[in-house]
Structure 1
């Protein structure tokens, strides 16, 4: 087991766009869905994902903010992130994380009615890189 810091993990995560976001449903089950961070991949412990305000993922997060993210790189690098999520409904914040690729899903850009953004602040990240594995605690 090797100890790496967040900067080293972030460098390995730099090109990973899609994560599996898992939430807790009303009945207590775990629900997972793939989410794109839209090439906003400079990882500092925060992740941002756009969605619809009336989606199940938003409902799940508003009930229980404890979530997990799973990332897989092309080179056998994996990261499991435990974090706290919040729903953001602020257009200024949308614009900070918007890329043109998102227009495919939200045609009116940051003016799309019903748009929401999920911010996930990592608490802990466990990584596997071949036979190397370790954990980084980001906050408590």
Structure 2
């Protein structure tokens, strides 16, 4: 049996993603190889086409995004749900934006809160998202 791709809107894609926290963030390294690592959106899961992730300025992922902002996110959820999001990453260094996306649990990685030196916020602006769940498959494009 072949799956049929359903075109979906951003609202329906957001419903699929509302409980997804951990993603594999895939970037392109300087040598052209793909690099992936787990990232948490810290329960900031009201997907509106953008996803946010805190990290450190000196990290490899920030260097890779600075060289090539094209990224992909891969999520796995309950009930055999898989979602991929393709988009462009933007590096945010504005403390007011940090405050909008901060949750107390981040303190375990960023001891000085939104004043942690060297902290940066990654914003992935989606251009395409796709999900698979059992025999259902859906796709959204910006």
- Runs of 4+ in structure 1 off by over 4 angstroms are none
Measure how far apart 1:135 and its partner are: 1.4
Deviations 1:13-44 (A, max 9, x none): 11111000000000000000000000100001
2:92 aligned with 1:78: no
The residue that corresponds to 1:49 in the other structure is 53
TM-score, reference length from structure 2? 0.95
Instruction: Name stretches of at least 5 consecutive residues in structure 1 with no aligned partner.
Output: none
Measure how far apart 1:3 and its partner are: 2.5
Secondary structure, aligned partner of 1:15: coil
Measure how far apart 1:134 and its partner are: 2.3
Figure out how many residues of one structure are paired with residues of the other and give that number.
Answer: 138
CA distance in 2, matches of 1:114, 1:3: 40
TM-score, reference length from structure 1? 0.96
The residue that corresponds to 1:5 in the other structure is 9
CA distance in 2, matches of 1:42, 1:93: 16
Deviates more, 1:1-10 or 1:56-65: 1-10
Select 1:14's aligned residue among 5, 15, 18.
Answer: 18
Deviates more, 1:6-15 or 1:26-35: 6-15
Select 1:66's aligned residue among 66, 70, 78.
Answer: 70
The residue that corresponds to 1:98 in the other structure is 102
Measure how far apart 1:74 and its partner are: 1.1
